[in-house]
Structure 1
Amino acid sequence: MSSLIRSPLFLVLALWAAGLGAAAQFAKIVVIFPELQAHYGQTGAASGYLVSLISFVGMALGLVAGVIAIQIGLRRLLIIGLSLGALISAWQSTIPGFEMMMLSRFFEGLSHLAIVVSAPTLISQFATQRHQGAALTLWGTFFGVAFAVVAIAAPPLVDAHGLGSLAFLHAFYMAGFALLVSLVLPTYDRTAAPAWPSLGEIARRHLTVYASPFIAAPALGWLFYTLTFVSLLAILPAMVDPSQRAMVTAAMPLASIASSLTLGTWLLRRLQAVQVILIGFALAICLALALIALGVSAWLAIALFASLGLVQGASFAAVPQLNPGLPERALANGGLAQMGNIGNGLGTPMALAILTLGSGLGLPLFLIISYAAAIATHLALGRMRKASPGV
């Protein structure tokens, strides 16, 4: 039993399951958002910050979390993130006043960042070289899987036990995984960490990271992925035949997960991660062109998400391929968190603004421009890497 729980497979699955808890920090609010709005009454547009405040924290502090991981260690940062998340959800289960709930979401953003920076970096450390791509592809599914599980479990749970029950169950889950990872993740003798950087040094670190074609590449490509992914989830179902709307809403994220775990894993065994990312974006451009020619349909929407699934897993797999050192991987995953939150925060308002222009070409052109920019960015960074001996 001891050898089983210390095996790379068990450790990877435990870290992925911990990531489901981080994704559920979004899902537990989104899935019952109408009920929360009804409970809090006349909060107006401010209620939207119950969802987005975590993203704002990630926009500002994503890379800072990578710096903290270097200072205190990945294992410790993960345990802190899970423990803090458990405490916050336990408090949220009491359904505090609106202002206190908003404050709790800010601190939950810190917990979320700690997990999404440390867990994939640890996965890249524990997975064997042969299975690293598959392990990080699995990690890339954590958001979609968590949303699907919460969407199924939340309605009967809340109906039976009240509005706070979902947060209470989430607190129990997070506490359980904080205990599990503290028991199963190996500890290492760490050399003394460097002195804590000043605010000026952190600002310079941002410039250094995003100037590096090795550390920055996964994050900069991820920006264009997240710019469209969440916005398409929100917008495309309303554009298909009403009789197919429910099916499309469920099938789009599932198609992304399925293509990532099947075709994406197969391609990562044969190609470099950045090449798989480029294939995914190129297929997405072709499907966006099909949207112009044929209009929005259920199966085109699902196929578009299947192509984006290749980008999903390969972006995480690119981190260890481009960055052999754990400090660089931690910074790269911090960059992924930061760019992902920026994309999530900006994408839906941009897409909705384009739709208000009334042209059927607007949304497909937005997709084509975004994905072409992603390809151009990756190709430019690839040329920089060839010209540079290292990070």
Structure 2
Amino acid sequence: MMPERTRWALVLLIWVAGLAAAAQYGKISVIFDRIGAFYPQAGAWLGFTVSMVGVLGILLGAVAGAFVAAMGYRRMLLAALWIGAAMSALQALGLPFALFLATRGIEGLSHLGLVVAAPTLIAQISAERDRGATLTLWSTFFSVAFALLAWLGIPLVERFGVTALFAAHAALMALLAVLLRPALARVPAPVRQPMPRLRDLPAVHREIYRSPHIGAPAAGWLFYTCCFLAALTLLPAHVDPGLRALVAGAMPLVSIVVSLTFGVWLLRHMPAVTVVEIGFGLGTLAAAWLWLSPGGPAASLGLAAALGLVQGATFAAVPQLNATAATRAQANGALAQAGNLGNTLGTPLLLAATSVAGYAGMIALMALLLLAGLAVHRGLAGLRRVV
């Protein structure tokens, strides 16, 4: 049964757990140059310190929902926090590089458990009228975590060294596990699902991606993630140098603000998928603006604002399209898989387009990806009317 009132304090606490999950990426990304100095012998393997977490998301994201539904959402959230805390604590000991990479792989499993269980639980403890707002808040966890790490993590590392950041992350995750255990005990437990067998995993993927309900959020999310991270990475280089730093810092903030304000307002008046489609449509128009005004600061911020609508509404679409906790967990697992795949492929694809056709080629590919996201959602909406 849906609650009549949203448990806002618990929603915020789970969102902070999301910040800790995003920090499993960000604690390496924001100090990547210092990681190279910490492990000077790593060479080309150094890139795996970031991507090891994402590789597991690509391989296991879709089936993670089935495992979380079988193990229980509360149990998985707490276990993922403790595992993450243990891995960060080990990293704080200054492990040899090979062991450090092994802990990053295990962190990938912890990250998957968090990003599948947390939004499923947030949807469960939110009143229907507030779900758009609570899940839009959840959608900001990545951007907010990276900003906090830049503001707080880098000064910590400058003063106390790389391992201090790992120790702080371990302490945060352990504290969250302690705080969430009694709070989650009062949350009704959804019905546990049977544990999937290895031979069933291909069928799990087919069930998710053949469903116009379960797979729809992830289908659009793939195109969003292909564009968003690549735009944050590549567009600032084409902005006037005097405004470059300002635009680079403002783009993720504009996306968050639009998502939490205009996006939440739209979600109170129309279905989440419609808001996603509006975001993709406006994003395509912003790409055309960027083509007409190369590197324009206003056009760059316009693109970020449009993608902010996609960001929040995609997570809000999960409970609107899926009625049970089990199917929502599957949808959130597919989102994790699509997001990791999009983040991995997007920047290389746009760089390749730039090398072939210059700035115009990059913008044209970006527009095509955004149109594809809109077309996929339109097509799946048509299938839902038939099924």
Asked if TM exceeds 0.5, the reply is: yes
SS at 2:166 equivalent: helix
Distance 1:328 1:190, change over 3 A: closer
Alignment of 1:160-179 (within 5 A): 160-179=159-178
1:295 and 2:294 aligned: yes
Deviations 1:176-200 (A, max 9, x none): 1111111101254665642x32222
Deviations 1:294-331 (A, max 9, x none): 11122211111111000000000000000011100000
SS at 2:162 equivalent: coil
- With the length of structure 2 as denominator, give the TM-score of the two structures: 0.96
Report deviation, 1:242: 1.6
Between the aligned partners of 2:360 and 2:189, the Cα distance in structure 1 is: 57
Between the aligned partners of 2:193 and 2:240, the Cα distance in structure 1 is: 57
1:286 and 2:285 aligned: yes
- Paired residue for 2:62? 63
Report deviation, 1:360: 2.4
Between the aligned partners of 1:190 and 1:387, the Cα distance in structure 2 is: 29
Higher alpha-carbon deviation: 160-169 or 353-362:
353-362
Alignment of 1:235-384 (within 5 A): 235-384=234-383
Q: Which runs of 5+ in 2 are unaligned?
A: none
SS at 2:220 equivalent: helix
SS at 1:10 equivalent: helix
- Paired residue for 1:3? none
- Paired residue for 2:82? 83
Report deviation, 1:359: 2.2
Between the aligned partners of 1:314 and 1:190, the Cα distance in structure 2 is: 24
| Contact 2:62/2:330 (8 A) holds in 1 | yes
Report deviation, 1:62: 0.6
Aligned length: 382
Query: In the alignment, residue 312 of structure 2 is paired with which amino acid?
Result: G
- Paired residue for 1:146? 145
Deviations 1:249-285 (A, max 9, x none): 2101001100000000000000100000000000000
Between the aligned partners of 2:27 and 2:358, the Cα distance in structure 1 is: 35
Between the aligned partners of 1:182 and 1:275, the Cα distance in structure 2 is: 36
Distance 1:266 1:191, change over 3 A: closer
Query: In the alignment, residue 207 of structure 1 is paired with which amino acid?
Result: R
| Contact 2:350/2:366 (8 A) holds in 1 | no
- Paired residue for 1:233? 232
Alignment of 1:22-171 (within 5 A): 22-171=21-170
- Paired residue for 1:11? 10
Report deviation, 1:101: 1.1
Query: In the alignment, residue 123 of structure 1 is paired with which amino acid?
Result: I
Between the aligned partners of 1:354 and 1:193, the Cα distance in structure 2 is: 44
Q: Which runs of 5+ in 1 are unaligned?
A: 1-5
- With the length of structure 1 as denominator, give the TM-score of the two structures: 0.95
Deviations 1:361-385 (A, max 9, x none): 1111111110111111101100110
SS at 1:356 equivalent: helix
Deviations 1:206-234 (A, max 9, x none): 00110000000001000000011111111
Between the aligned partners of 2:153 and 2:206, the Cα distance in structure 1 is: 42
Between the aligned partners of 1:189 and 1:74, the Cα distance in structure 2 is: 8
SS at 2:359 equivalent: coil
Report deviation, 1:29: 0.3
Distance 1:7 1:209, change over 3 A: closer
Between the aligned partners of 1:166 and 1:192, the Cα distance in structure 2 is: 36
Deviations 1:151-182 (A, max 9, x none): 01122211211110111101000001111111
Distance 1:374 1:25, change over 3 A: same
SS at 1:236 equivalent: helix
- Paired residue for 2:201? 202
Report deviation, 1:42: 4.0
Query: In the alignment, residue 323 of structure 1 is paired with which amino acid?
Result: N
Deviations 1:337-370 (A, max 9, x none): 0110110111111111112224221111111110
Between the aligned partners of 1:307 and 1:188, the Cα distance in structure 2 is: 36
Distance 1:160 1:210, change over 3 A: same
Between the aligned partners of 1:16 and 1:169, the Cα distance in structure 2 is: 18
SS at 2:356 equivalent: coil
